[in-house]
Amino acid sequence: MAEFTLAFDYQIPQQLGLIERKYHSLIRQTIEDQLRYQPDVETRNRKPLQRPLGFGPGWEIRFGPDNRFRVFYRVDTQTQTVRILAIGVKIGNRLFIGGEEVED
C-alpha cells in the first residue's frame, strides 16, 4: 500500500485558527490516519463530493463530535499526493469554512 504525501492549501492555517484549539490535534491526527493511505477509497465518512463546492472535483471526510468537522481534498494518484483544500465546521445544516458560510 503506497503512502501519499499530504499537501496543505495556503488557507488551511487561517481556517484551522478559527476552530477551537482543543480540536486541532484531533483534526491533524484524523487527516494523517485517514488520508495518508488509500485516500480515494470510499468509506462511511469519506466520500467523493456530489457537488464540488468550488474546489473542483474532490473528496470530503467527516469526523469529530457529531461529525461536525469536514476536510475537503483532492487526490492525485500519479504523484501520490493528497491536497487538503479546506477544513470546515458543520453546525446544524450550515457549513462554515474560514468563518464564512458555504453552500454545501
CATH classification at residue 76:
3.30.2310.20
The whole-angstrom separation of Cα 40 and Cα 86 is 17
Cell of 93: 445544516
| pLDDT confidence of residue 85 | 94
- Encode pLDDT of 15-38 as tens digits: 999 999 999 999 999 999 999 999
46 lies in which domain range? 5-102
Asked if the model's pLDDT at residue 52 lies above 70, the reply is: no
> 35-39, 45-49, 82-86, 100-104: which range is least confident on average?
100-104
The whole-angstrom separation of Cα 50 and Cα 83 is 18
Domains in the chain: how many in total? 1
Residues 6+ apart with CB under 8 A from 50: none
Indicate if the alpha-carbon torsion angle 101, 62, 42, 77 is positive or negative: positive
Q: Which residue has the higher pLDDT, 2 or 56?
A: 2
pTM listed for this prediction = 0.92
